[in-house]
Structure 1
Amino acid sequence: MALIKTSRGAIRYRSILNNWDRHNNIDSRGAHVFREFWNKAGFSEYTNDSFKVPFNEADPINTPRELKITAQTRQALGDAIAYFQNKGIALDASLGELQYVLDAGKNNQHIAMHGGYGSEGIFNVAQGAGVNEAGNYIINNGPTYMQSVTFDSKGPVVEALLAYSQAGDTTRPYHRDQTRRYSDKEWIRLPFSKSEISEQAVGEVIKLRE
């Protein structure tokens, strides 16, 4: 256990970041502390001189690495810890407790959301206006349509998700249905053959003619 000096005094820091799984999944604990540390330290995805080993295009997986520990980084970490402690938020809270999408069709029910900001080095981008007064992250921007295609002996095997779902009307059952599936990482197998399309069709069939 170490004492980190911040503008608010000495704070006892338990190794939350050491136990963080280095992911931004819903059950990842400590990701929010890293996020605010990174923001307060003023780093970005273009930062290079803050690392002892700078980015090397011949070794993109392992570089950059070994963050330089300075008065600025110590201050940023201490301030990030103090920020959440002052709001009564556990440093080892899961990301899904703090980061979510609101379902207006169900009284603003929270849909826990994984992902993070590109500046954190996250490929799965999910962002909003930033941390709010309560210390939460309300997501309103990120991936839209995602699709994967493979092939088997019968032809294409396609899975997809529309992260925003299909209906802006909050009274419709499709308002946040795929958002919830996206939260659960539950892909939808898309129909390909005529019989599959017919079985899964919703609503009336409209035929277009020239």
Structure 2
Amino acid sequence: ADRLTAVLDHHPRRQLGPVPGRSGWQQQAQRLGQRARFALDRLGSLQQAGKVSAENLQAMVMDNEVYQAGQVLPDLLKFCASELGDDVARLTPLCAALKAWDGRADLNSGIGFVYFQRIMTSMQGVASRWRVVFDPQNPIHTPSGLAIENPQVASALRAAMLAAVDEVAKAGLSPESKWGDIQVSSLSGKPIPIHGGPAGLGVYNAMQTIAGKDGKREVVSGTSYLQVVTFDEQGPRAQGLLAFSESSNPQSAHSRDQAEAFSKKQWSELPFTEQQIKADPAYQVQVISEEGSR
């Protein structure tokens, strides 16, 4: 982080503690973002299990877990199972979608993810929403839990759910809609389904979108270049992906190739040795010189 106070939280599990007053820094509690919490939690689990492999890291980037879902989805479902009163008919489809959702922002993830996004966006303004508030001594796992037992939070949640129902209906999305039908990249003409989601929800494969046509979300920024490197007796082995392709010209053969590979989670082997480089069928040598140069 680039803030002076972040020096206090150089590592969530090994905090430096109070900084002397003469340093001019005030000790302030620094909340970790959902994405950082996901990364630390996932890496901690992998390290406990043994060595971290390239496949582990690829899955970490591309399994598209929505980390915040693990913190609040049980409470959302518990609220759904309570007495919904006059709103039961309107909220039943939403609750069914949340229950069926796989907790991910993957291409095949259901409409429950869209409802989840809308609900959590609305709940951001509710200061008392957390059951377990932020603890600077446990920054990875706090805050967490929706305090649905709090009447103010329950009322705000009901309103957020009803608003989500209206927004999804207005967008023209159906109960069968998948995330891959909604989040797309259309820069090359024909829409390409793109997995990933908002970093604020703890999706490591972060994507930023704007509203498009027919309820779709157009990707405008986010994950760009991915590379995983391992080392063995034969040297480095690298795999990579360029998520947004190489050309912005829709007529180019390279306007869709990498974006489609990203959509399909198809990593490419990257050559390193001279032998590997020359083995590329497209390999060629081009000598460039300046006329009159010495």
TM-score per shorter chain, which class? Answer: 0.7 to 0.9
Query: Whole-Å Cα distance in 1 between the matches of residues 216 and 119 of structure 2?
Result: 15
Partner of 1:79: 163
* 1:129-144 mapped onto 2 (5 Å cutoff): 129=210, 131-132=211-212, 134-144=214-224
Say which of 257, 266, 273 aligns to 1:186. 266
Query: Whole-Å Cα distance in 1 between the matches of residues 220 and 276 of structure 2?
Result: 33
Query: Whole-Å Cα distance in 1 between the matches of residues 141 and 122 of structure 2?
Result: 24
Q: Deviations over 1:97-143 (max 9, x none)?
A: 11111153xxx2121111111222222111122x3463211112111
Say which of 41, 44, 53 aligns to 2:123. 41
Query: Whole-Å Cα distance in 2 between the matches of residues 151 and 186 of structure 1?
Result: 21
Q: Could you tell me which runs of 5 or more consecutive residues in structure 2 were left unpaired when the two chains were aligned.
A: 1-80
Residues 22 and 208 (structure 1 numbering): CA distance in 2 closer, same or farther, change over 3 Å? same
Partner of 2:113: 31
Amino acid at match of 1:38: M
Higher Cα Rg: structure 1 or 2? 2
Residues 26 and 57 (structure 1 numbering): CA distance in 2 closer, same or farther, change over 3 Å? farther
* Greater RCO (Cα-Cα under 8 Å, separation 6 or more): 2
Kept in 1: contact 2:240–2:270 (CA 8 A): yes
Kindly state the Cα deviation for residue 149 of structure 1 after the two structures are TM-superposed.
0.6
Query: Whole-Å Cα distance in 1 between the matches of residues 218 and 158 of structure 2?
Result: 28
Partner of 1:113: 194
Deviates more, 1:141-150 or 1:196-205: 196-205
Kept in 1: contact 2:123–2:129 (CA 8 A): no
Say which of 127, 139, 160 aligns to 2:208. 127
Partner of 2:90: 11
Kept in 2: contact 1:165–1:175 (CA 8 A): yes
Q: Could you tell me which runs of 5 or more consecutive residues in structure 1 were left unpaired when the two chains were aligned.
A: none
Amino acid at match of 2:117: R
Partner of 1:94: 178
CA RMSD of aligned residues (A): 2.7
Query: Whole-Å Cα distance in 2 between the matches of residues 186 and 155 of structure 1?
Result: 22
Kept in 1: contact 2:119–2:164 (CA 8 A): yes
Partner of 1:66: 145
Higher strand share: 1
Amino acid at match of 2:129: S
Kindly state the Cα deviation for residue 88 of structure 1 after the two structures are TM-superposed.
3.5
Partner of 2:22: none
Partner of 2:130: 51
When normalised by structure 1's length, the TM-score is 0.82
When normalised by structure 2's length, the TM-score is 0.61
Kindly state the Cα deviation for residue 177 of structure 1 after the two structures are TM-superposed.
0.7
Residues 148 and 67 (structure 1 numbering): CA distance in 2 closer, same or farther, change over 3 Å? same
Q: Which runs of 4+ in 1 moved over 6 A?
A: none
Higher helix share: 2
Residues 5 and 72 (structure 1 numbering): CA distance in 2 closer, same or farther, change over 3 Å? farther
Say which of 248, 251, 271 aligns to 1:171. 251
Q: Would you say how many aligned residue pairs link Structure 1 and Structure 2?
A: 201
Report the secondary structure of 1:200's partner residue.
coil
Report the secondary structure of 1:157's partner residue.
strand
Query: Whole-Å Cα distance in 2 between the matches of residues 16 and 191 of structure 1?
Result: 44
Report the secondary structure of 1:124's partner residue.
coil
Report the secondary structure of 2:106's partner residue.
coil
* 1:190-209 mapped onto 2 (5 Å cutoff): 190-200=270-280, 202=282, 204-207=284-287
Query: Whole-Å Cα distance in 2 between the matches of residues 173 and 66 of structure 1?
Result: 48
